[in-house]
Amino acid sequence: MIGGGALASVAAITVAVTVASADQYSGSTAGADHAVFVQGNELNGNTIHVFARDDDGRLSPSGTYTTGGRGGDQIDAPTDSLASQGSLVYDDVSGMLLAVNAGSGTVTSFRVEGQQLKDRRVVGSGGEFPASIAVRGRIAYVMNAGGEGSVQGFEITGEGLKPLKGSHRSLGLDNEDVPRFDTSPGEVEFTPDGRNLVVTTKGNNTVEVFPMKRNGLPAVDEPVVNESAGGVPFAISFDKTGKRMLVAEAEKSTVTTYKVKRSGELKVLQEPLPNGQETLCWLERAGNYFYGGNTGNSTVSGYVMDEHGKLSLTNDVGIAAPPSADSQGVIDLAVTEDEKFVYVQNAVSGTVDGFRVESDGALTKVTTAEGLPAFDESGMEGIAAV
């Protein structure tokens, strides 16, 4: 996320937490088809914390697993160590959970069975400080945020991720191997039709697009560079039809709606929409609703898109759920596959809040998971829900 006056006021609160023993599944099998996965991003050994989710959205711990790599912490990161969206991804086609190990330059895959993680495989990310993953069919792309930045393609196989020859592309950035949080790229994502791969770059203020071939390789050596309509583009989401791309922009907490052309050029469909909050970075869709994490004042904003593609706030104040003193440092969020629940990471508090999505787009809190790695030298980042 981006700095500025909004983040200067965010308190650096350290919360002592206890992490369960790693590697072994140690919980109940109740609700085995529903789970929430949280990435601990610990510097001395990254872990995935697994929670069972019941039909009412409540969470209960089910085990903690080591990834075989180390977490990372970007330079001067205020609340979010990876400064990205999509660092932990569940792929429902392969049934795999994919996690970045930013401190090791590796990516881990697990086979998911209910709330158990099995068959851990670790591969090199093809660059420095991997921070985001995108999946389309049997292809995954990893965004490396360190150094010049890059994207690297992988084939998703029964034996984990296999590097895709000829897929590596530079982003042409000017970072150290451990990047600054405000100059690193924010997210990599496929357009739903698979024809383009999109990357946001916060410091360059661009949305960069790689047109893709059918074989999963980029069709160009360098991305098509589009100037962002709003300041500091961060997270990417798509509407229900897959035809409109929404980009969250941290500078003024805005969301811009685009059309991604086959050529990689972007057309602005709706100018940046402000939410009145501080430092919007993350954005996820639940049906026709979208939810954004505002880390500057620890709130979650709600948006609704009508049948004509017009985006608006779900209420006048731009807050979908009342803020809580026990839920500080809002960062990444995840929506369940049935789109009934939203789960939000609170980096400073070391908690995850779960909300039920109401018919009017409001969020009703149903659960809080505690004891997760709180932000200090580093902290948890990355969340996925099924």
Q: What pLDDT is stored for residue 326 in this prediction?
A: 87
What own/partner pairs with CB < 8 Å and gap ≥ 24 does 17-20 have? 17/350, 17/370, 17/371, 17/372, 17/373, 17/374, 18/371, 19/47, 19/49, 19/64, 19/371, 19/373, 20/49, 20/61, 20/63, 20/64
Model pLDDT for residues 182-229, shown as the tens digit of each residue: 999 999 999 999 999 999 999 999 999 999 999 999 999 999 999 999
pTM exceeds cut of 0.85:
yes
Tell me the C-alpha distance between 362 and 240, whole Å.
Answer: 19
Compute how many other C-beta atoms are within 10 angstroms of the C-beta atom of residue 21: 9
In degrees, rounded to 5, the angle at the alpha carbon of residue 189 between the alpha carbons of residues 185 and 193 is 155
Domains of the chain (ranges; CATH) run 5-10+33-385 (2.130.10.10)
For residues 35 and 50, the answer to whether their CB atoms sit within 8 Å is: yes
Tell me the C-alpha distance between 231 and 103, whole Å.
Answer: 28
Tell me the C-alpha distance between 30 and 62, whole Å.
Answer: 10
Q: For 176-215, give the secondary structure using H, E and C.
A: CCCCECCCCEEEEEECCCCCEEEEEECCCCEEEEEEECCC
Handedness of CA 116, 118, 122, 126 (dihedral sign): negative
CB within 8 Å of 176: residues ≥ 6 apart: 75, 146, 147
Q: Which amino acid does the sequence have at 260?
A: V
Whether 172 shows a pLDDT value over 60: the answer reads yes
Which of 17-21, 126-130, 207-211, 373-377 shows the lowest per-residue confidence on average (mean pLDDT)?
17-21
Angstrom CA distances, 218 to 157, 214, 254, 330, stand at 20, 9, 30, 34
Length of the chain equals 386
Model pLDDT for residues 312-371, shown as the tens digit of each residue: 999 988 999 888 888 999 999 999 999 999 999 999 999 999 999 999 999 999 999 999
Whether 5 shows a pLDDT value over 50: the answer reads no
For residue 246, report the phi and psi dihedrals to the nearest 5 degrees. Answer: -110, 135
Model pLDDT for residues 256-271, shown as the tens digit of each residue: 999 999 999 999 999 9
CB within 8 Å of 239: residues ≥ 6 apart: 246, 285, 288, 305, 309
- Residue recorded with tokens 């383009």: 196
Model pLDDT for residues 121-133, shown as the tens digit of each residue: 999 999 999 999 9
For residues 376 and 37, the answer to whether their CB atoms sit within 8 Å is: no
Mean pLDDT of the 373-381 span: 94
